[in-house]
Structure 1
Amino acid sequence: MSAEKLLSLLHNIRQTGRGRWIAPCPAHDDRRPSLAIRELDDGRVLIHDFAGCSTRDVLAAVGLTLEDLFPERQGGYTGAKELRPWAAIDVLRCVAFEALLVSISANNIAKGGTVSEFDRKRLFVAASRLQAAVEVANGDT
C-alpha cells in the first residue's frame, strides 16, 4: 500500500514534508491533528498518534489492517526466510537461561513442591529449545 490509500481515508490532511503528513486521528475525537503519517522510500507507511491511540485502532477506524502498511510483494517472492547464524555467545546465553529454568523447577520438585500448569508448559518449551540447540550444534537441521 502507498500512503495515498490511507490518506484517501482521512480528513483535513496537511503535508509537513516530503512523504510526511499530519491529520486528525480517526480513532478518537481529535480537535487538533495528532496522527503523523510517513511513507518510506521502500513503500512502507509509518503512523503514530501522539494522543496515544494504537496503530491497530487507527487502522481499524478506517477499515485497514497492519498488513496494509506494507507494499505488496513483487511476483516471484518465495517467502523463504533468510537464515542468519546466531553469535555463539547469544546461543550460550539462551541455553543457560533455559537450563536455569529447568534447574529451578527441578529444585522445587526435589523439595516436595509442585509445578503449576503454566510452569509445566514453560518447562516443555525449555526442553524443546535445549533439544533444538543440540540438534543445531550436531548439524541435524
Structure 2
Amino acid sequence: MSADTLLDHLENVKRTGDGRWLARCPAHADRRASLAVRELSSGVILAHCFAGCSIAEVVGAVGLDMSALFPEKINADGTKPERRPFPAADVLRAVSFETMIVAIAAADMAAGKTIKPVDLKRLRIAARRLLTAAEAFQ
C-alpha cells in the first residue's frame, strides 16, 4: 500500500513536506489535524496521532489493518516470499518457559500461597501464550 491509500480515507489532509502529511485522526472526534503521516523511501508508512490514539485504532477506524502500513514483499521472480514458520527449537523453548511459569504458580497455589496481582497477570499471559501456541497447530 502507498500512503495514498491511507490518505484517501482521511479528512483535511494537508501536505507538509516530501512524503509527509497532517490530517484529522479518524479514531477520535478530531476538530483539527492531529494525525501525522509519513511514507518512507522503503514504502513503510508511519503515522502518529498527537491526541494519543494508537496506530491500530487509526487504521482500524478506516477499515484497514496494520499490514496495510508495509509494502508487499515480492521476490525477483515476481512471486511472494515463502513465510517460514518459527524454528521448532525456538517454539519449544518458548512453550517450555511459559509452562514453567504455570508450574511455579500451581506449586505456590498448592502450598496455599497467595498469588500477587503482578504474578497473576504474568500467569494469565503465560496461559494466553500457551493457548495461542496450541491453536496454531490445530
Gaps of 5+ in 2: 115-122, 131-138
Aligned equivalents of 2:59 and 2:49: distance in 1?
11
Q: Deviations over 1:51-103 (max 9, x none)?
A: 122323322332222221111221241112586x98xxxx8xx96x9657634
In structure 2, the partner of 1:102 is: 103
Give the secondary structure class of the aligned counterpart of 1:37: strand
- 1:67 is the counterpart of 2:61: no
Using the TM superposition, name which of 31-40 and 103-112 deviates more: 103-112
Q: How many percent of aligned residue pairs carry the same amino acid?
A: 41
2:49 matched to 1:52? Answer: no
Aligned AA (2:82)? T
Once superposed, what is the RMSD of the aligned Cα atoms?
3.5
Greater CA drift, 55-64 or 13-22: 55-64
Q: Which sections of structure 1, spanning at least 5 residues, go unmatched?
A: 126-141
Query: Cα distance 1:21–1:101, how it changes in 2: closer, same or farther (>3 A)?
Result: same
Secondary structure at 1:13 match in 2 = strand
The two structures have a TM-score, normalised by structure 1, of 0.58
Distance 1:7 1:31 in 2: 17
Q: Distance in 2 between matches of 1:35 and 1:49?
A: 4
Q: Radius of gyration: which is bigger?
A: 1
